């Protein structure tokens, strides 16, 4: 009678050491006193990942419960949905003509900002140097998305009267300037002021240029807010509120460490607002596509703003990165 063994086969025994090296056991989350001040959030007392681990540990922390899990997954899932929607509003892909190019650029800018945000929160606990670098990159992506939204809304959602107005004529150059200013202010505030500083500095250096840019971006929608355009505007405004105010954790420190603190709510609301905005843009694109194809010759200059904006924003981040390196060397 043959013997039956319930032990693992020899192949598994040879693979297990390799898997243990590839997939190391993750240390449990720690409290705020165990991480540098740069990594802490106000009124969030636990759920922090230990700094200094190998990068693969932070990648694997996607499957771990900590105070950044919801921040990462909310934007990562939204980026995946937006990437899937690159099939186009009709499910057959985009035809890269001048009429659809602003919409393609918008989708790419949205995927870029969501992906960079997820990466920033995923790797923020590795080191102070990597923390700052990823959040500078996140600021670049937000600036690019801000301009991508302005471009798409001005082409597909603006009324003809608004397009011919003075504001409509300076809209895209103004959004370019504000996107650059927003990125510069956020990078400077991140580099020089941390969460321990008073709120007024953060308000002046981050929220004011970002909020001004948002108000300019929704300019083409002002005349349509009584119709279907309230949802993304309301979601983005709520996202700004939770980004700037530590509510509800301020009233119960430690209770909302893993789920429910303000930055998580801001992430979820901004992701939902982006998804709803994209669907609205798809609707406007299909509605106006015949007219846009006839007027496509006038749309070529608009996407050309995207490349200089991206390059100028990246150069701004690089200059801040060099300044950080020089300061550390001193």
- List residues forming the annotated binding site: 121, 263, 267
Which string of b and e fits 254-264 if b means at least 16 CB within 10 Å? eebbbeebbbb
Helix axes 128-156, 262-294, angle to 10 degrees: 40
Q: Please state the φ and ψ torsions of residue 23, each to the nearest 5 degrees.
A: -120, 80
Q: Which residues are annotated as a binding site for Zn(2+)?
A: 121, 263, 267
Q: Based on the number of CB atoms within 10 Å of its own CB, is 171 exposed (0-12), middle (13-18) or buried (19 or more)?
A: buried
Residue found under tokens 């895209």 = 172
Residue found under tokens 């901004």 = 270
Listed residue (120, 145, 119, 122) closest to 135, CA to CA: 120
40's tokens: 């802490």
């Amino acid at each position: 009678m043959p013997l039956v063994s319930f032990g693992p086969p020899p192949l598994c025994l040879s693979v297990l050491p390799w898997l243990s090296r590839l997939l190391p056991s993750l240390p449990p989350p720690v409290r705020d006193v165990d991480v540098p001040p740069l990594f802490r959030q106000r009124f969030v007392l636990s759920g922090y990942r230990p700094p200094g681990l190998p990068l693969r540990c932070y990648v694997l922390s996607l499957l771990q419960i900590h105070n950044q899990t919801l921040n990462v997954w909310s934007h990562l899932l939204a980026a995946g949905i937006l990437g899937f929607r690159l099939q186009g509003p009709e499910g057959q892909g985009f035809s890269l003509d001048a009429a659809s190019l602003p919409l393609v650029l918008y989708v790419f800018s949205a995927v870029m900002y969501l992906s960079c945000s997820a990466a920033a929160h995923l790797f923020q606990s590795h080191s102070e140097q990597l923390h700052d670098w990823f959040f500078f990159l996140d600021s670049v992506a937000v600036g690019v998305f801000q301009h991508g939204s302005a471009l798409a809304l001005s082409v597909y959602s603006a009324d003809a009267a608004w397009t011919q107005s003075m504001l409509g004529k300076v809209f895209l150059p103004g959004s370019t300037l504000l996107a650059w200013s927003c990125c510069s202010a956020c990078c400077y505030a991140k580099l020089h002021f941390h969460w321990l500083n008073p709120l007024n500095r953060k308000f002046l250096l981050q929220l004011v240029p970002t909020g001004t840019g948002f108000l300019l971006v929704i300019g083409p929608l002002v005349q349509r807010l009584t119709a279907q355009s309230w949802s993304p505007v309301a979601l983005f405004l709520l996202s700004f509120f939770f980004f700037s105010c530590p509510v509800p954790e301020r009233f119960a420190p430690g209770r909302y460490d893993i789920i429910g603190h303000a930055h998580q709510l801001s992430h979820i609301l901004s992701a939902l607002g982006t998804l709803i905005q994209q669907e609205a843009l798809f609707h406007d694109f299909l509605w106006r596509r015949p007219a846009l194809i006839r007027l496509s010759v006038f749309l070529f200059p608009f996407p050309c703003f995207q490349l200089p904006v991206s390059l100028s924003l990246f150069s701004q981040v690089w200059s801040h990165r060099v300044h950080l390196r020089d300061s550390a060397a001193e």
